[in-house]
A = this chain, B = another copy of it.
Amino acid sequence: MSKLRVAVIGAKGRIGSEAVRAVSAADDLELVAALGRGDRLETLAESGAQVVVELTHPDSVMANLEYCVGQGIHAVVGTTGWTDDRLARLGTALDAAPGTGVLIAPNFSIGAVLTMAFAQQAARWFESVEVVELHHPNKADAPSGTATRTAQLIAAARAAAGSPPQPDATVTALDGARGADVDGVPVHSVRLRGLLAHQEVLLGGEGETLTIRHDSLHHSSFMPGVLLGVRRVVHTPGLTFGLEHFLDLG
């Protein structure tokens, strides 16, 4: 079997260099180019890349992708900052390049993506749902973006199913005890030396609870998701938003 030819743009960053390592280590992939800031995009076509892993910056991602799509090179994108406008512009480019696929993934951790997907599926079947996220104490924001997103997805799933408000008989509370309210879902942020990034979704019904917990113990946890994206995007023309669409859920 011939190997899939892969290039990385943004190859000098922390995630980018992990991606270079992961692509190089995969038996079915061949790293054909690794571009840093200032390198010429033409290298991508010259190297024969079939897929590009795009890990740069919102300022450069559009130009990078328009080049790739124009060349019929598939792309797996970790760079953020996608507005409706930008997505529309990318869609137009893709319409003109049938057969070319782009995956934009706000989160490459398969565990985090599954946690959100399962939380959404389970949310309507339990009376109570809360989110506890735990991170190292150097984190600047609370709750984490992932926890806020998870709570929003849970709230939307419950709203769509017509779930009643969560039961809560609290009368007397210390300020903050019941967490932050994200669309009606309490979210609690723990900051603890020794931790990296962890999240727990707790669901409770009569006589039982279901807990979905994701522990990210090392930054390399993004790599299996990146490689999965690379392997699938070549068979998935058009725009895919979110790694969950490549996980054969349901």
Contacts and interface: CB of A to CB of B under 8 A. Distances in A.
A137 interface: yes
Contacts of A179: 176-177, 179, 188-190
Interface string A192-208: 11111000001111111
A223 B208 CA distance: 11
Contact of A217 (B139, B176, B217, B228): B217
Nearest to A192: B204
B205 A209 contact: no
A176 B176 contact: yes
B250 A249 contact: yes
A109 to B, nearest CB: 6
A186 B178 CA distance: 12
B224 A218 contact: no
Interface stretch (A70-78, A117-125, A233-241): A117-125
A: interface residue count bin: 35 or more
Which of A117, A206, A228 gathers most chain B CB within 10 Å?
A206
Contacts of A128: 137, 191-194
A159 interface: no
B193 A217 contact: no
Given A189-B173, A190-B132, A114 B121 contact: yes
B210 A169 contact: no
Contacts of A190: 130, 132, 179, 186, 188, 202
A141 B114 contact: no
A221 to B, nearest CB: 3
Nearest to A210: B111
Interface of A: 109-112, 114-115, 117-118, 121-122, 125-128, 130, 132, 134, 137-143, 148, 166-182, 186-196, 202-224, 228, 247-250
The 5 closest A-B pairs by CB, nearest first: A250-B250, A207-B221, A192-B204, A207-B218, A174-B180
Given A174-B182, A193-B204, A194-B206, 19 more contacts: A110-B126, A115-B210, A125-B224, A127-B137, A127-B193, A128-B137, A130-B190, A137-B168, A148-B174, A176-B177, A177-B180, A177-B187, A177-B189, A178-B189, A194-B204, A196-B217, A208-B216, A209-B214, A211-B213
